[in-house]
Structure 1
Amino acid sequence: MEIRYPATFEPQDGGGFFVQFVDLPDTFTEGATLEEAQFNASEALSAMLGFKLDAGEAIAPPTAGAAGAQYIAPDAKTQAAYLIRQARADRSLSELARALETSWPAARKLEDPKHWPSLRQLERAAAALGKRLVLSLE
């Protein structure tokens, strides 16, 4: 599963761009150049998804094929936490911890967007959840 959220980039009269996410209307930013606006959009998306993960809030899935939108990815830590949360679905953290043969706090760290899990931890968690870890570089 790829985590990319659609965002609109509106040129501003005085220059620069205003960015707002289609699926997260309370998440927006700006930038003096398109490149800066894209960078800031990734930062804003990472912060909002991280906040929602920390608070245990539901996160709307990204809309596919949003016309006129650019698709933005959050940072790697946030993507990892989001993907583990999505793959776990209705299973408890205790079930995941038992499957990984680890403690509940260690399993919880996998869903913490401030934690840098190792590839080995992510691979083991994916396998325990019946998934496969796939990496890509842009």
Structure 2
Amino acid sequence: MEILYPAILEPQSGGGFCVRFVDFDEAFTEGETVEEAQFNAIDVLTLTLEGRLEEGLPIPEPTPDLSGAVYIAPDARTQSALLIRRARGERSLADIARVLQTTWPAAERLEDPRHWPSLRQLDRAAAALGKRLVLRFE
């Protein structure tokens, strides 16, 4: 499962590009080049998702197959927090902590985008959720 949100890159009349995320009204940025705009978009998406996680706001599913959009992924920490939260579904953190044989705060940190879980922690969490951890470089 990947977390990729669609962004629209719009050339600006004075040069550069404006980037807006269709799934988040509050997420937009710009850049002088396409590469810079996409780089900035990663930061904006990451901060938007972190803020929503922190405030307990809903996080929409990414709009699939949007024509003309560029799909952007948040940073690895935020992606892992969202993936664990989605895989957990309705299961309580206490239930996950029991399966992982750890404390509730330790299980909660797995869904904190400011926390750096180890590969071992992620692998154990994936297994506890009936999933498999897969790494990929892009």
TM-score band, normalised by shorter chain: over 0.9
**Alpha-carbon distance, 1:92 to partner:** 0.8
Structure 2: tracts of 5 or more residues without a match:
none
Q: Mapping of 1:1-138 within 5 angstroms?
A: 1-138=1-138
Q: Provide runs of 4+ in structure 1 moved above 4 Å.
A: none
Q: What is the SS of the residue equivalent to 1:9?
A: strand
Question: Could you say what the CA RMSD is over the residues aligned between the two structures, in angstroms?
Answer: 0.7
Q: TM-score, normalised by structure 1?
A: 0.98
Deviation at 1:23, TM superposition (A): 1.1
Q: Deviations over 1:10-38 (max 9, x none)?
A: 00011110000011122111111111100
Gaps of 5+ in 1: none
Structure-1 separation of matches of 2:3 and 2:66: 14
2:90 and 2:125 map into 1 onto residues whose CA distance is 15
TM-score (norm 2): 0.98
**For structure 1, which segment, 48-57 or 28-37, has the greater mean C-alpha deviation from structure 2 after superposition?**
48-57
